[in-house]
Chains A and B, each alone.
Chain A
Amino acid sequence: MTMDYIDNTQIKMRPLYQGLMGCSVVAAVLGVVAAVLLAVAGYQIRVTDPAQADLLQKHKEQLQTRPSDQALAEQIRQMDADIRRNELRRQQFIHTGTIYLAGSIVIAAVCFIAARSMLKPAPVVPTADSCPAEQIQRARQTRLVVTVTLALLGAVGLYAALTARPKQADTQSQPHSQSSAVEAVDWAEVVAQQWPSFRGPWGDGVCRMPDIPSVWNEKENKAIVWKSEVPLPGFSSPIVWDDRVYLTGATETEQKLFCYDAKDGKLLWTGQIQPDGTAGREAPNIMEDTGFAANTPATNGSRICAIFATGDIGCFDRDGKIQWQKALGVPESAYGYATSLAVFENKIIVQFDQGSEEGLSEILAFNSADGAILWRTKRPTPNTWTSPTIVKTDKGYQILTSGSPWVMGYDPATGQELWRASCLGSDIAPTQILAAGLVVALQPYDKLYAYRLDNAGGDVTESAKAWDGPGDMPDIASPVSNGELVWTLTVSGGLSCFDLADGKEVYVQSLDLECHASPVLVGDKLYILGQDGQMIIAQAGRTYEELGRNIIDEECYASPAFAPGRMFLRSTKSLYCIGKVD
C-alpha cells in the first residue's frame, strides 16, 4: 500500500487556497478592528453613564434650590436629551459592531477551515511504544495533579464555608421578633422562648422558660397579672408569641381567633373565619364535650392560623388581617374534629384524620403566607383526636403523629413518611411525646408504648420498640416526661409515673381532681390543672410530693401556655395571665 501524502506546498500555491486564506486574514483583521471599536464604545458608555453625569447631576441639584429657573430647566432638558441621544447612538453602534464582529469571526473561521481542509494531513514522526515505565510515570503524575486540584477545590470550598459566617444583625431592631437571627436561623432557636402551638413548640408539655410562677390565688388576687373575658366558648389552649396571646372560640355560626396583649390582657383584635357557605354543606355533628373550637391554633410569629371542627382553616397576620382561608370540608369524626395545628417554619401542619376506616385521612402542610399546599400525604388511619408534634433529632426535624394503629414520623420538608409502628387501638386522643430519644404514645385504658426515634425507617413495630407497659392510661390528657420519668393523668385524677428506661410503674397517685388539661413540666415541678380551676404543683420525682395548690375561680379544660415569667390559663369564660405583678 502506498501512502497518498503529497506535498502541501503545491496546494498552498493554488489560487483557491490563497484566496480562502486571504479572505480569512482580512476577516480576522476586520474582526479585531471591530472588537477594538466595541471595547472603546463600551468604555465610553461606562464612563459617561447618563445617570451619573456629574454636570447634569449638579444642574439638577441647582434646580431644586431654584425651581423657577426656566433657563436652567431648559439647559437640563437639552443636556439630558444629548446624553440620551449619545447613549442610544452608542448602543446602536455596539449592536451593529457585534454583528460585524460575529460575521467576521464566522467568515474567518469558515475560510480558514475550508483552506485547511484542502491540505492533506502531514505525516507524523512515530513515537516509541508506550512502555510500562512511561505508564507508571503518567499514572503517578495524574494522581499527583488530580490530588493537587482536589486540594485547591477543597481550599476554595473551605474558604467559602469559613467566610460564609453571617454578619449578625441587631435583632433588637426587628420590631416583630426578638428571636430571629439573620442567617442560618434554626427553628429551635426561633421558638426557644415561644409557645407557638398545643403544649409548646415540641408538643411535649415541657416549659423551658425561666421564672414561671408557682404560687397564685385569684381570691386573694395574688400573682394574677390580668384576667380578660373570652367572648366565645372553646376547649382549645392558648398560644403565645412574643407579646401576644392567641386563642380560638367558636359556635355553630361563628369561628373566631382572639389576640390579646400579653402585657395587659387587652383584646387587640378578633379575626373571623367565615364558616364555609358551600351550598348543601351538612351541619357538622359535633359533641358538646368537644365543641367547635377544641383545636389549638398555631403561629410562626408572622402568621397565626386556626382550624375549627368544621374543617375551616385560615391565617391572619399580626395585625389581625386575614391572609387566606380554606374549607377542607367537614371531617367525618365520631366526636368532632379536635386535632390541633402544628407549625414548622413557614409550614402549618394539619393532621386531617377522618372516617371510620382508613382511606380518607391525610396530613397536609400549608404555606402560612398564602395557604398554598406544600405537600399532602395520605394516612392509613381513621378519625383520631391526637395532634401532630414537631421534634428535633440529630438528623433534622420530624413530625410525629398518632392514630389507629400507627405511631408515625414524617419529614416536614416533603411530607414523606419516615417510619411507622403499629401499637394503638381505636379512639386515640392523647398526643405522643418525644423524651430522651423515645417516642412515647399511649392506648387509653391499656398500655404505654415507647419506640426509639433513631430507627431504621419503614415499619419499625418490632425493631424500634423499646418497651411497653400496662397501666391506667388516660383517654384525654397527654403524657409528660423529664427524660427520666414519664407521667400520665386520667380524667378521674389518676397520676401514674413510669420509668422511661424500661416502662415500669414507679408510683400511682390518686388526686382529688377531675382533669381534662394535660400536665405540664416546669423545671423539676409538675403542674396539674384540675377542671375546678385548682392547679397542683408537685415535685417531679420518683415519689409523689405535693408542693402546693393554687386556684382560680373558673372551670378549666385547656392546657396552660407560657412565656418567660408568665403562665396563661384559659377557663371557660376568661383568659388569665399569672406571674409577678409589677
Chain B
Amino acid sequence: MLMLSMTAWGVQRFPPPQFESGYQIPQTTTPMPHPPIRDVIDSAVFLVALGMASWLTLKKRSRKWIVGLMLFSLFYFGFFRNGCVCSVGSIGNIALAAFNSEYTLPAVVLVFFLAPLVFTLFFGRGFCAAVCPLGAMQDIVLIRPVRVPEPLEAALRLLAYVYLAFAVLFAATGSLFVICRYDPFVTFFRFNGNWNLWVLGISFLLISLFVGRPYCRFLCPYGVILRQLSRISRWRVKITPDECIQCRLCEQACPFGAVVKPSKPLPPAENARSKRTIAFLIVLLPILAALGGWIGSAMHPTLARAHPTVRLANRIDAEMAGLVQGQTDASEAFRASGQDVQLLRLEAVSIRYRFWVGGMMAGIALGLIAGGKLIASAVPVVRKEYEAHRAGCFACGRCFAYCPVEQKRRIDQSIMNTK
C-alpha cells in the first residue's frame, strides 16, 4: 500500500524556465507506431517458444534446455521487447475489449492471451516454465528456496484471485490496466520507471532469492487461469517417466511445493467427519458469496476513484466546496476547456454505478472461490504415488534429476545414442 501511494509523487520534475532564456523548447513528437511485421514476428516467436517449452517439458525432460529457453524468453520478451506484449498484462486488454465495443483489440494481444491458454490445456504450464519473462526473472535468482507451509501457500494464493478480479474490474471500466501499471519487473526490462516500481521490483527479486516465484504463485492473475486449465490438461509434466518406485527422493526437489505425497484413505470416522465439514461449508458458500458481493459493491466509491473522470469530478467538487486549496493540472485544464461540471458529475455517477455492479460481481466471485477452496481442503484425497501438483506445477523440470527412474532412462538413452 505504501508503494502504491508513492505514485502520488509523480510530478513533472523539470518545469520549463519561467523567463526568456533564448532556448527553443522542441515540439513534442509522437513516436510512430511500430510496423505490423513486428507483431507477426513476435507472435511467431511466441508460438515457437510455447511449442518448444511443451516439447522440452514433456518429451526432452531437460532442465538445462528449459533454462536455456527461459533465458532466451527473458532476453527476447523481457529485455528486447521491453516486457510488452505480455500474456499477463493482456488480461487488461481482453477485459476492456469485452466491455467496451469501441476498443479494438490488437491481434498480437489476442495471440499472447489465447496461445498459452490453449497450450496449457493440452500440454500443461510450459508457458510458465520457459516462456514468461516474469517467471524467468524470478526463477533465475532462486538461490536458497524456503518451503512455504502448505496452509499458508493456500491462503496466499487467494491474493491472486483478488488481484485478477480487481484487475478485470479496473480494465473493464476503462480506469487503468493495473497489471501493467504495477508490473514489478518491467522497470528492469526497460531500465526505466519511477521510484516505487524500482522498490517493488527489487523487493520481489529479493524475496525470489528465497521464495520460489512469489509473484507467479501468489499474485499472478494470469497464473490463476492457467492453474485451472492445467488441472484438466491432456498431457502434463510427470516427475517420473515410468512407474513411481516410492523412493521419496523427489520430496524436497520442488521449491514451489508442487510435489505432492502419496496419501492413504481416511479412517471411516474421519471420513464421516469430513463429509459433515463439507456439508457445512457448502451451506456457507452462498453466505460467503453474498458477503463478498455486499463488500464489493460497498467499495465502489473507493474503487471508482481509479477512474480519471471520477477523480476529476471529485476534485472539482472539492475545489468548489473549498475543501482543498489550489488546482491540479487536470482540474485547471477542465476549467479552461469550459466544459460543464454537471455533465462531468453525471458521467462520474454513471461510472460509479458500473463499479457498483462490477464490485458486486467481483465480490460474489471471490466469495465463491474462497468457499470452494475451503471445501477443497476438506475433501479427502487418495494418492498412490508422488506426483506433480496438477495446478501448481510450473513444469520447471527441477524434479526430473531427482528421480532414479529418470536417471536410469537418461543412462539408457545415452547408451543407446553411443551405440
Contacts and interface: CB of A to CB of B under 8 A. Distances in A.
B154 interface: yes
Interface stretch (B32-40, B89-97, B221-229, B371-379): B371-379
Given A4-B407, A176-B342, A346-B343, A102 B158 contact: no
A164 B381 CA distance: 44
Nearest to A124: B252
B151 A144 contact: yes
B370 A300 contact: no
- Chain A contact residues: over half helix, strand or loop, or mixed? helix
Contacts of A158: 295, 298
B374 to A, nearest CB: 6
A120 B158 CA distance: 36
B196 to A, nearest CB: 11
Interface in A118-149: 120-121, 123-124, 126-127, 129-132, 135-136, 138-139, 141-149
Interface in B159-204: 162, 188, 191-192, 195, 202
Interface of B: 13-15, 17-19, 21, 63-64, 67, 71, 140-141, 143, 149-152, 154-156, 158, 162, 188, 191-192, 195, 202, 205, 247-249, 251-253, 261-267, 270, 274, 288, 291-292, 295-296, 298-303, 313-314, 317-318, 320-323, 339-343, 345-347, 349-350, 352-354, 363, 366, 370, 373-374, 377-378, 380-381, 401-402, 404, 407-408, 411
A130 B72 CA distance: 39
A113 B140 contact: yes
B321 A169 contact: yes
Given A170-B321, A300-B343, A117 B18 contact: no
A126 B247 CA distance: 8
Contact of A1 (B152, B301, B404): B404
A169 B317 contact: yes
Interface of A: 1, 3-4, 35, 42, 45, 49-51, 60, 73, 76-77, 80, 84, 87, 95, 98-99, 102, 105, 109-110, 112-113, 117, 120-121, 123-124, 126-127, 129-132, 135-136, 138-139, 141-150, 153-154, 157-158, 160-167, 169-170, 173-174, 176-177, 180, 182-187, 190, 300-303, 317-318, 345-346, 368-369, 413
Contacts of B143: 112
Contact of A153 (B18, B149, B158, B300): B158
B407 A317 contact: no
Contacts of B342: 174, 176-177, 180, 300-302
Contacts of A166: 301, 314
Contact of B407 (A3, A99, A163): A3
A413 to B, nearest CB: 7
Contacts of A138: 150-151
A131 B264 contact: yes
A19 B237 CA distance: 34
A73 B63 CA distance: 67
Contact of A132 (B202, B270, B347, B352): B270
Contact of A129 (B162, B261, B323): B261
- Chain B contact residues: over half helix, strand or loop, or mixed? helix
A84 B14 CA distance: 8
Contacts of A145: 151-152, 154-155
A150 B155 CA distance: 8
Contacts, number: 226
Nearest to B378: A139
Contacts of A141: 149-151
A146 B301 contact: no
Find the residue from B15, B262, B302, B378 having the highest chain A CB count within 10 A. B302
Find the residue from A45, A131, A161, A369 having the highest chain B CB count within 10 A. A161
Contact of B67 (A73, A117, A345): A117
B4 to A, nearest CB: 13
Contact of A413 (B150, B295, B353): B353
B264 A130 contact: yes
B21 to A, nearest CB: 7
A318 B299 CA distance: 34
A142 B264 contact: no
A126 B302 contact: no
Contact of A169 (B13, B323, B366, B411): B323
Contact of A161 (B295, B340, B347): B295
B318 A135 contact: no
